[in-house]
Structure 1
Amino acid sequence: MTLVFGVWEELWADRRVEPYWQMFSRVQAAAQELPHQRLRGISTEEWEEIADLSGAVDLFDATQIELPPTLADWQKTSEERSGFKLQLKLDGRNRQFKEALLTTPDGNDNNYFSDFLGLEWERPSGKSSEKESSAEAPRGDLYLFDCGYCSIDQYHRITDTGNSFVTKLHGNTDPQSVCSRPVPETATDPDRNAAGYSIWEDRLVRLGDDRTDREGGNPGRWYRVLTVEVSTGEQIDVLTNLLWLDAEQICRLYKHRWSIEIVFR
């Protein structure tokens, strides 16, 4: 696992890293001891079906960690509190932590998502950025993350590099609906839907500059939004670029994303 200290590299330079490695090792060991059903949220058979759909399966999430007073003097974010945010990348196949990033507790998680993904992307001008290397981007991988990592540019990057994602649609994202897809009767019944959700709507959409009222986009780049009712009764929109996958399987993938939530709790 890679441990990165984000914008605090100079601040952490004189501090011992071993305690943090020990902390992550203990958390990872505890995560590996969790029952398979509890960690994944789906059965072993269902997971094997999903695992065959892609290469690597990575889960992303972030949580804020408050520091006790004895450790807080060196990193105060306000008069009342101090702490940091843990950005975590989890291997969805073997439960191993792949990368952990410690950042300031405030700010947008999107600022770190690009580095977390590690995808190479050619800019529209045809020139690569100075930070881009000659290494080939991973192909056919699957990324599961919450709406905190909300960036249409990153959705485009994942799609244009041949990878896939499933996430919760952020409330500030305004997709343009193009057409609706039929929803099977079994998908509307949580007792018959493999994920335990009710799927109310399945539609193809365009995002950002790809919408027909914008210039400079790619009208051939499509996304998909599922309106579903989860087991708690909450209604959410699930965004993905998996156009060919059954709606129920997409719900399974979204449910699997909760693996990383359990690690944090």
Structure 2
Amino acid sequence: MGTIPNQSVICKCLDLLPLSDEAFPLFNHRRRLTLVKAVKLLVEAQLNQRADLDEISQALRANRELQQAVGLKSISPSQVVRTLDNLPLEVLQRVWLLLTQQVAQMYPEQGVTGLGKLHLIDSTSLSLPELAGKWAYCSKHSNGVKVHLKLVIADSDTVYPTQVICSTLGVADSEVALDLVVDKDAIHVLDRGYRVYRLYETWLEQGLRFVARIQQNSRTLVLHEREVAPHPPVLRDADVLVSYKNAEKQLVEVQLRLVEYTDEKGRQYRVITNVWDKTAEQISEIYHHRWLIEIFFKWMKQHVSLIHLYSSREKAVWNQIFLALIGYALVLLLRNETDAAQSPWSFLKLLRCYMCQAWNRFLQELQRKPEKFSKGRQKKGKTGRPQTKPKKYKTVKKYANQ
């Protein structure tokens, strides 16, 4: 990562990108905004939540450190959007994959204590405008794309995606499930969007473990009830049969395990699984971790501006999704390099504040300890008898100064 003490934080961050312009002579022919410069500029825009193309262009002209990191002094918004639309998607996918592999090496012992390796499967949607987004038409009032991904839980504070499939809204979650549920050494956690019994049978035959939520009215034939504690959260633990009709209209039955439980708010859940070596409480805890993927999607939309698309053109949309994922991977790599104790969001906020300052100063701020330890104002007990009736207030009449 380099040892230049006066190197700016933004230079340090963008230098992590495994890219070289010498590898793309055809793309760079007669271009001011070469492939590497474009990727660096657009990744910086994701990390700093640049609102639009004009802000990207203005930030480059105003920021000398960014100019040094990108290798460009100025560029017009129109050139940025044209380049975004022309970037080769396979290159961005390869860059993201290489960075993800580096992140995975930082966490050789993945998983949750007592539960093992958990892979969370889900998708999120991004809306597109009515006219410019017709290429992603779904219904009369809905155009958009989906990001299907597999999220790995590295530790209690860190998650990262290892597989991503982008599609239009018309693609159901279950249609890509076979491409995401592939790891035999992990338990895959899925929501109700993947409730397809044919998939369950396939995973059972392939030795792939899963915990999937089913609807309250989903039919199951109970074969054997296990004893559960008389008090929640676990309400039922049973071996059941689920059935479906195959392509030849023949009835196929699959034997699985059903666990019903309630959460801390009293909401009831029904999950189906082929994991037999965990207790019912552990199964409920495994599914509870599924909410980490919802938090990850929220993190990407709010903190890396994935929800603000710079262009509605098809290729530009796919490219920006992977640029945002690249930005997230860079945050994890820098956080690990600095041994920061902050959460990814707290680390990113500090990174933004020191983006144009020297790397050493950023490290000093990361390691800075609180100067004062205040216990706050100490409350003193009131003397006299305690007040039993609510205090009465009178109407207040005040006028602003003329």
What TM-score do the two structures reach when normalised by structure 2?
Answer: 0.43
Match of 1:205 in 2: 240
The verdict on how the C-alpha distance between 1:76 and 1:159 changes in structure 2, with shifts beyond 3 A counting, is: closer
- Superposition misfits of 4+ residues, deviation over 6 angstroms: none
Q: Aligned to 2:283, what secondary structure does the other structure show?
A: helix
Equivalent of 2:208 in 163, 171, 174? 163
Structure 1 pair 101–209 and aligned structure 2 pair: CA distance change class (3 A): closer
**Structure 1 counterpart of 2:220, from 146, 165, 175:** 175
Contact 2:125 2:169 in 1 (8 A): yes
Counterpart mapping for 1:140-151 below 5 A: 140-151=185-196
Q: State the 1:240 CA deviation.
A: 1.0
Q: Larger C-alpha radius of gyration, 1 or 2?
A: 2
Cα distance in 1 for partners of 2:141, 2:212 equals 33
Is residue 83 from structure 1 mapped to residue 144 from structure 2 by the alignment?
A: yes
Counterpart of 1:98 in 2: which secondary structure?
A: strand
Q: In the alignment, what sits opposite 2:114?
A: 49
Q: How does 1:95-134 map to 2 (within 5 A)?
A: 95-118=159-182
Query: Superposed, which structure 2 residues align to 1:14-53 within 5 Å?
Result: 15-17=86-88, 21=92, 47-51=112-116
User: Equivalents in 2 of 1:260, 1:208: separation in Å?
Assistant: 29
Partners of 1:145 and 1:79 lie apart in 2 by 29
Task: Give the Cα separation in 1 of the matches to 2:294 and 2:279.
Answer: 25
Q: Tell me the secondary structure at the aligned position of residue 50 of structure 1.
A: coil
In structure 2, runs of 5+ residues without a counterpart are: 1-84, 104-110, 299-402
Return the structure number with greater strand share: 1
Distance 1:106 1:201, change over 3 A: same
Asked whether 1:62 is paired with 2:95, we answer no
SS of 1:63's equivalent in the other structure is strand
1:240 aligns with 2:273: yes
Pairwise CA RMSD of aligned residues?
3.5
Alpha-carbon offset, residue 183 of structure 1: 0.3
How many Å separate the matches in 2 of 1:236 and 1:251? 9
Q: CA deviation at 1:246?
A: 0.9
| Counterparts of 1:172 and 1:109, CA distance in 2 | 20
Q: Secondary structure at the match of 1:222?
A: strand
Between the aligned partners of 1:16 and 1:71, the Cα distance in structure 2 is 19
Deviation at 1:141, TM superposition (A): 2.6
Q: How far 1:69 sits from its partner (Å)?
A: 6.4
Q: What is the CA–CA distance in structure 2 between the aligned matches of 1:206 and 1:239, rounded to whole Å?
A: 10
Between Structure 1 and Structure 2, the one with more helix by share is: 2
Distance 1:74 1:179, change over 3 A: closer
Going from structure 1 to structure 2, the CA distance change for 1:235 and 1:172 (only over 3 Å counts) comes to: closer
- For the pair 1:92 / 2:157, whether they are aligned, the reply is no
TM-score by length of 1: 0.62
Matched, 1:256 2:321: no
For the residue of structure 2 that corresponds to 1:156, the secondary structure is: helix
Give, as a single letter, the amino acid of the residue that structure 2 aligns with 1:158.
Answer: W
The CA distance in 2 between the partners of 1:80 and 1:144, in whole Å, is 31
The total of aligned residue pairs comes to 196
Counterpart of 2:115, as a letter, is I
Question: What does residue 71 of structure 2 align with?
Answer: none
Q: Which runs of 5+ in 1 are unaligned?
A: 1-13, 33-45, 119-137, 190-197
CA positional deviation for 1:165: 0.9
